[in-house]
Structure 1
């Protein structure tokens, strides 16, 4: 029987997958979330007691966000990721626990802010959201983030400015494969739109934005393949949409024989943030 928890374990439990994915994007994501927390009027000027980061992975985003809280708790369903998080953390006010999202191991009304970065599509939303409501304080908020690559913008002067068609074709191919695999509930192609519609909460909003990351063409390919789930969709080396994209872009830039890691680009991610407040 396939479950979203099993899919999460398959995608996240192996080695340094979370660390590789975090490396290109995490600072920008944390900055966005921090700004949303600071702009939440009911929390403005208050000492924030407790952060709960669900699907925390190796704990890096929990550690970055913890600077604004007296206490931070990271939860993850993968025991291996929690073990890595504990090994990499040297802070008395940050702790990690192995737990699913559908049964949060906290008492009622103890949390100021709940975050989850690339986690919501793995959760049983109908079980998770009532748990959020239970553990959040009356003025608390929950913030869920996801993004997908949408464009490559050239940084090199002699490169084409935008390769939209190639990225669109690759995304379509991957989305079709995801539908064919039919992993129940595990879908990031709509940037949590389906989960947002399913959420029953008094005050909810979904914000779409973009994030630009400077990297190389080779770095972009590695980044995309490290996105949980994408490596599973690209299992056939002779039919790999990411490899096809890299080759196509190199041909268009007349640099087919050049190492992809030497072609500087900017990666444009289309992002969505869901914000809940009581």
Structure 2
């Protein structure tokens, strides 16, 4: 796994401004993964618990596995009233979960940070027979001019920017290497409305975004504000966005 400190000091922004997943996507998971209320789901790289919360709302038992202390603490705080939630400090490659103890694995917005080969072996160890893995991202609609312009801003002011979602568009992930055989790809519309503070917060929550003491911070914010002014309507901007899922066995 890449550095577990990538999102340190960004948990508050992440929890506040990162979007949830469409309800029809959750319906799809429940149907296609053949899971029920008795199932245990391991949400790997669970972050601040965004997907975990949506799964808990469907009455599943969820184990959130997250190595970053700030992100994990945010999830533990927001989900402390959920008796079906367990928080584990561990990595995707070494989850510490028992052999064949999990009915389903989810990975939301995190797979591109993992050592894919080691994670595949770990999934095979913790999953029950014929259980599935779901990899999901909220991703910008690449056909959008707004998203193309925001990517240019990020490239200019964010030294570590390699593309949205870890650059998975520019460098496609080896899904055929990860999944055992065939896997299903499903896309859902999930456009994101923001006021100015949310629009800025969404970008500042990214791993590549500069922090306040970085020299690029103010120019980055100013460029985003100018973009917001050009594309917003009555104080709201819509970021064209998709939820894309990859589901299969490993």
TM-score (norm 2): 0.80
Q: Which residue of 1 aligns with 2:101?
A: 110
Structure 2 vs 1, CA of residues 138 and 210 (structure 1 numbering), >3 Å: closer, same or farther? same
Consecutive unaligned residues of structure 1, counting only runs of 5 or more, are: 152-162, 256-261
Say whether 1:18 aligns with 2:4.
no
1:192 is displaced (CA, Å) by 7.9
- Residues 180-195 of structure 1 aligned to structure 2 (within 5 Å): 181=160, 187-190=166-169, 193-195=172-174
Say whether 1:51 aligns with 2:49.
no
* Distance in 2 separating the partners of 1:228 and 1:181: 8
Q: Kindly name which structure, 1 or 2, has the bigger radius of gyration based on alpha carbons.
A: 1
Say whether 1:95 aligns with 2:86.
yes
Greater helix share, structure number: 1
Secondary structure at the aligned position of 1:273 is classed as strand
1:49 is displaced (CA, Å) by 1.8
TM-score (norm 1): 0.73
Q: Which residue of 1 aligns with 2:112?
A: 121
Per mean C-alpha deviation after superposition, the further-off stretch among 115-124 and 70-79 is 70-79
Asked if the contact 2:45/2:108 (under 8 Å) is kept, the reply is: yes
Structure 2 vs 1, CA of residues 87 and 181 (structure 1 numbering), >3 Å: closer, same or farther? closer
Say whether 1:237 aligns with 2:227.
no
Secondary structure at the aligned position of 2:217 is classed as coil
Structure 2 vs 1, CA of residues 129 and 9 (structure 1 numbering), >3 Å: closer, same or farther? same
Q: Which residue of 1 aligns with 2:139?
A: 148
Say whether 1:165 aligns with 2:145.
yes
Asked if the contact 1:121/1:192 (under 8 Å) is kept, the reply is: no
**CA deviation map 1:76-133 (0-9, x unaligned):** 0112332333333122221101000001211222211211111111111111012112
Alpha-carbon RMSD: 3.3
Q: Which residue of 1 aligns with 2:130?
A: 139
Consecutive unaligned residues of structure 2, counting only runs of 5 or more, are: none
Q: Which residue of 2 aligns with 1:9?
A: 5
Aligned residues: 245
Which residue of 70, 73, 76 corresponds with 1:80? 70
